[in-house]
Structure 1
Amino acid sequence: MTGPLLTLAAKELRERLRNRWVLAVALVFTVFSLLISYFGAAQQGVVGPRSLALTVSSLVSLVIYLVPMIALLLGFDAIVGERERGSLELLLAHPLSGAELLLGKYLGLAAALTLSTLSGFALVGALLMQQFGVEALWHYGGFVLSSTGLGLAFLSLALLLSVLTRERTRASGLAIVLWFVFVLVFDLALLGTLVASGGALAGDAVAWLLLANPADVFRILNLFSLEQAEGLFGLGALMPPAFASPLWMGLALLGWIVAPLAAALWRFKPS
């Protein structure tokens, strides 16, 4: 099984490298992350990263908006696009099962997304190491790793959309809706419900509901990894103590990667 799967994954990665998709996304990450890291405090009359916690918390906001959008745009037509072009049957004419096709597509796209993310944040990592020492790379490395995980989670969701839809235009529309729901609407709706209930829905209930959004899992994971950011955002009063564990939040993010991909494998019908 691994032979055809890896061959297809390598083909997907080569295509993204050939059309300079990886380079373009890496440049976007580099430019925005440098601007936020170096000029984020310019309004206070200072330039350059003044605090590791504040720099990472600012980059968290960038990642939550940018990475899910890039992942959804990358993967929404992975299957439905092949189906519309009539090349899906051609691919399956090779000694390739449906599961191998889907996993090969995912692995290739995931490799491209991971490569662009790591490349895009590398320069900021060097800047932070120069400013705060090698120890800063421990926290920053965790942030970059979780950013990659967030991208893979939304890539899994994009692949699921691509499997469930029969038209590329519908898949693209649903991908945009998904981005709006998880990145913009979810927290507003939760806050509105909390206010409307007069605080009846509070404490652990709200905290557990946040696990239903991979973007919030990513946010909690990174803000709890730095005590300064935890105090800055006042999350300590809202989150259960178990949420302070990077292990549990990392497992929650892993669940968001595995579950949609497993659902896509279950629902994928090549014909």
Structure 2
Amino acid sequence: MNDMLQVARREIKTGFRNPWAYSFLILFCVFSLCLLVINSQSIVQGYSGVTGSMLSLILYLLPLMTLFLGSFSLTAEKEEGSWQLLSTYPIGSLSFIVGKYIGLSIVLLTIVAFGYGLMGVISGLVGMSFDSTTYVLFIAFSCGLVLLFLTLALLIGSLSKNRWQALTVSVSIWFFAVIGWQTILISVLNFLPYTWIKPTLVALTFINPAELVRLFVVIKLGGGSILGPEYYQWVDWIQRSSGSWLFIAVCMLWISFSIMVVYWLWERGRSHG
């Protein structure tokens, strides 16, 4: 536990000294103010065209930002020789990976909190109204994207040999998970028998963290009717009183499984030199 916390503290210090982090902080603050401008015409409440546009904009930025910062953190350890030095100390690979995850999560969530905090303060000063439930769901949406995509970022960093390779893989995964997902989904489902569509849809949704978090927030905002009959069961369990807790449990399982895969890859690379 002490080793894990030491790695987390080291990652937090490194993260806040990283110019990439401040670049993304400025970008996210500007982005948050743009969302405020979108909201300036009326109170945003529930799911609407404006809310959908805001969710899409967040979906474009945050996963890419998370993939870059997370994957670069691990590849930097390889390129700069920091891991070789750390491996001479009695620190386990799991403590190292979990410590990295905790430290990077704090850095990224601080960026998200600062951006939304700035948006909230300015909206209060200029008298713009923002529905509190919708505001909280947007924050939850952003935090969910960060925490889930960070595990993918660590996976990319574990497999990549340098930053350029991590950059290429990160952009590819972001493109398929965010930009091209709907097209890929339709293409795959068109080749399947009708009875296979629902189970395949569920499986593919759980694979893609962007789609998983987006569905939860859209349904919580009251937009479940736009998803189609294939998502009826999703709407049903998410709208239950226990839906939020079930969703959190699913995310925790997703994160735990992904971190164990990263640990296995890192330990395998460590044992093979």
Smaller-chain TM-score bracket: 0.7 to 0.9
Does the C-alpha gap of structure 1 residues 213 and 128 become closer, same or farther in structure 2, counting only changes over 3 Å?
farther
Q: Secondary structure at the match of 2:220?
A: coil
Report if the CA contact (8 A) 2:141-2:214 is conserved: no
Alignment identity in percent?
26
Does the C-alpha gap of structure 1 residues 202 and 131 become closer, same or farther in structure 2, counting only changes over 3 Å?
farther
Report if the CA contact (8 A) 2:71-2:154 is conserved: yes
Q: Cα RMSD (Å) of the superposition?
A: 2.7
The match for 2:249 is 251
The match for 2:45 is 52
1:28 corresponds to 2:20: no
Gaps of at least 5 residues in structure 1 are 41-46
The match for 2:9 is 10
Greater CA drift, 104-113 or 84-93: 84-93
Q: Secondary structure at the match of 2:229?
A: coil
The match for 1:161 is 156
Pairs aligned (count): 259
**Aligned positions of 1:51-70 closer than 5 A:** 51-53=44-46, 54=48, 55-70=50-65
1:147 corresponds to 2:142: yes
Q: Secondary structure at the match of 1:211?
A: helix
Does the C-alpha gap of structure 1 residues 81 and 18 become closer, same or farther in structure 2, counting only changes over 3 Å?
closer
Greater CA drift, 189-198 or 213-222: 189-198
The structure with the greater share of residues assigned to helix is 2
Q: Secondary structure at the match of 1:93?
A: coil
Q: CA deviation at 1:262?
A: 1.5
Q: Secondary structure at the match of 1:52?
A: coil
Q: Secondary structure at the match of 2:72?
A: coil
Q: CA deviation at 1:214?
A: 0.7
Whole-Å separation in 1 of the counterparts to 2:36 and 2:197: 34
**Aligned positions of 1:1-271 closer than 5 A:** 2-39=1-38, 47-53=40-46, 54=48, 55-126=50-121, 131-132=128-129, 136-195=131-190, 202=197, 205-227=200-222, 229-231=223-225, 234-235=226-227, 237-239=229-231, 240=233, 241-244=236-239, 245-269=243-267, 270=270, 271=273
Q: Secondary structure at the match of 1:175?
A: helix
Report if the CA contact (8 A) 1:52-1:128 is conserved: no
Q: CA deviation at 1:126?
A: 4.5
Report if the CA contact (8 A) 1:63-1:147 is conserved: yes
The match for 1:43 is none
The match for 1:44 is none
Q: CA deviation at 1:205?
A: 4.7
Does the C-alpha gap of structure 1 residues 94 and 196 become closer, same or farther in structure 2, counting only changes over 3 Å?
closer
Whole-Å separation in 2 of the counterparts to 1:256 and 1:128: 35
Gaps of at least 5 residues in structure 2 are none
Q: CA deviation at 1:118?
A: 1.2
Q: CA deviation at 1:15?
A: 1.9
Report if the CA contact (8 A) 2:60-2:178 is conserved: yes
Q: Secondary structure at the match of 1:25?
A: helix
Amino acid at match of 1:48: Q
With normalisation by structure 1, the TM-score equals 0.82
Does the C-alpha gap of structure 1 residues 97 and 199 become closer, same or farther in structure 2, counting only changes over 3 Å?
closer
Whole-Å separation in 2 of the counterparts to 1:90 and 1:57: 47
Report if the CA contact (8 A) 1:154-1:257 is conserved: no
With normalisation by structure 2, the TM-score equals 0.82
